[in-house]
Amino acid sequence: RKEVEQDPGPFNVPEGATVAFNCTYSNSASQSFFWYRQDCRKEPKLLMSVYSSGNEDGRFTAQLNRASQYISLLIRDSKLSDSATYLCVRNRDDKIIFGKGTRLHILP
């Protein structure tokens, strides 16, 4: 298994729907996780950190499942502006590994 794996998508979702995608990781060593968002031809920007206890920020919820070695991102009431690539990021001892990203298209 690659260190960080994501379904590349694209996920085509109607506006207002709920969408969720996962990221699986190998190596169970202590590490932290993040979701970044990257718009086309732009740099990645931090969306949210991921905690075992779950982390919610408005319409976005991130979760870490250490037993099954995956993290998830849930977007509720999706907006057209949510269209982007979502990158799963693992940080272990300042060694940063990005997933290839999941492309999300919100359809009007």
Give residues in contact with other proteins (CB under 8 A): 32, 42-46, 49, 87, 91, 94-101
Note whether 33 and 55 are within 8 A (CB): no
Most distant CA atoms of the chain, gap in Å: 42
Q: Which is nearer to other proteins, 17 or 46 (by Cβ)?
A: 46
Q: Which is nearer to other proteins, 70 or 98 (by Cβ)?
A: 98
Q: How far is the CB of 60 from other proteins (least distance, A)?
A: 16
Q: How far is the CB of 100 from other proteins (least distance, A)?
A: 4
CA 2 to chain centroid: 16
Q: How far is the CB of 15 from other proteins (least distance, A)?
A: 25
Q: Which is nearer to other proteins, 45 or 79 (by Cβ)?
A: 45
First to last CA, the chain: 36
> Distances from the Cα of 24 to the Cαs of 1, 13, 40, 82, 85, in angstroms?
9, 22, 24, 22, 17
